[in-house]
Structure 1
């Protein structure tokens, strides 16, 4: 057995939702390096154009489409178009997501529903759209981008935690329903990742920066590069008997209560 070939994505078509930038972009880029053809969507043409340009700068030909992943009809049309123009989707990464940081008693029900719609209903809708062709083809990989909030609560993120907790259970249920068709559905739960959005919090001496470094056994923020190895593993034949699992890439945060105060 050639173990390297087990991790190859050669000849596979990978759809990564919301992958114009950030974590989704990093995962899609790694899939391209492993041999996959990359397809992504975003909510408007401006973001799709931005993504296509970013991939081109990395030497990657990516296929970008405008699609609101909360709209079932648009998603069904997207999947049909991808199958005609690129090929049947072998790998789906449900990456698109939002967060609204508002105290629960101040949050409007409409905002709560919006977060649930994007972070939980959309993965259901997109997964539902790709599974029939995966069944017909005899294999498929679905990877849901979960969160430490799939396990923990925290102030101001009631909707996000509810959605990501639900996404963890959706992951398990897809595995339970469709594992017999050689479809594996797993999740990745990123820890606190260094991105442009978190840059203001990561300045030396910032209370939140000190909190995260002190809470994380690795004593650092994660990077998008920390996520790509697990993402390739879960998309490859190397994970064919891994199903319904959430792989937390968090530097060990969920393993500890934190350091004892000195």
Structure 2
């Protein structure tokens, strides 16, 4: 590889915002840790003070500012973006790793979901990506990357995934429209679709252990993916090497998406 090509595969000097760190198993933390190792500067968020006691030691250890950010609370998303802009002067990447639905709606049938619960799941898990993108885009003068996290249940029925299936389908559609709208600003938008891993959010899905076992058996690689592998894909998509890609849902699931 020539020296001129090396910066394409680096995050050195890039600055960004990562939303949704919950603990040391969360996808947002995996991204935060790897992005720092690859030279990026990061501001991260967690939900609230309850989450902070688990997250603060992690972010402190890698030199990352941590803010509370509940996207349902007015002004908190704006404050997180403003802090990143004040600290860095610009934003090169955004990672949106937030998903939530009321347990009653998540564990029930989609046809039984409440109007309020469905709307809140859509607002937190999907529309908040559009909201934060609107806030970040003016501070990406050289363009950049915006990623959100989805799942296979968006495009096919996964037992017990329930209301999150339609919500993630909407998120993937949102990604395509955002890619079209933000493309002229050289902003690339993707959905990353990991295989199931044991995160706090996933623990709310009924019979999740069975889902892990099914995915392990079904995957061509005959194993589950790791937090590190999800972070590695996310890091690549935020590198200049991925500059020709936008509007995609990209799987990191051991190949499960390719199977019947």
**TM-score, L = length of structure 2:** 0.87
Is 1:142 equivalent to 2:185 in the alignment?
no
Partner of 1:162: 166
CA contact (8 A) 2:20 2:47 kept: yes
SS in 2 for 1:92: strand
Q: Structure 1 stretch 209-218 or stretch 88-97: which is displaced more?
A: 209-218
Once the two structures are TM-superposed, the CA of residue 217 in structure 1 deviates from its matched residue by: 1.5
Q: Deviations over 1:60-89 (max 9, x none)?
A: 011111122244533223212321134322
Q: Deviations over 1:103-158 (max 9, x none)?
A: 22433222212211111111111111101111xx1212101112112322233434
Once the two structures are TM-superposed, the CA of residue 49 in structure 1 deviates from its matched residue by: 4.1
Q: Distance in 1 between matches of 2:130 and 2:152?
A: 20
Is 1:122 equivalent to 2:128 in the alignment?
yes
Aligned with residue 8 of structure 2, among 6, 14, 21:
6
Aligned with residue 229 of structure 1, among 232, 239, 245:
232
CA contact (8 A) 1:175 1:185 kept: yes
Q: Deviations over 1:179-205 (max 9, x none)?
A: 12111111210112245766x978xxx
Q: Distance in 1 between matches of 2:250 and 2:74?
A: 28
**TM-score, L = length of structure 1:** 0.86
After superposition, the CA RMSD in angstroms is 2.2
Q: Distance in 2 between matches of 1:140 and 1:72?
A: 26
Once the two structures are TM-superposed, the CA of residue 97 in structure 1 deviates from its matched residue by: 1.2
Q: Distance in 2 between matches of 1:193 and 1:72?
A: 31
CA contact (8 A) 1:16 1:93 kept: yes
Give unmatched runs, 5+ long, in structure 1: 258-262
Q: Deviations over 1:35-80 (max 9, x none)?
A: 1112111221232343221133xx4011111122244533223212
- 1:176/1:50 Cα in 2 relative to 1: closer, same or farther (>3 Å)? same
Partner of 1:214: 217
Q: Distance in 1 between matches of 2:212 and 2:163?
A: 24
Q: Distance in 1 between matches of 2:75 and 2:128?
A: 12
SS in 1 for 2:44: strand
May I ask how many residue pairs the two structures share in their alignment?
249
Give unmatched runs, 5+ long, in structure 2: none
Q: Distance in 2 between matches of 1:86 and 1:181?
A: 19
Q: Distance in 2 between matches of 1:96 and 1:191?
A: 16
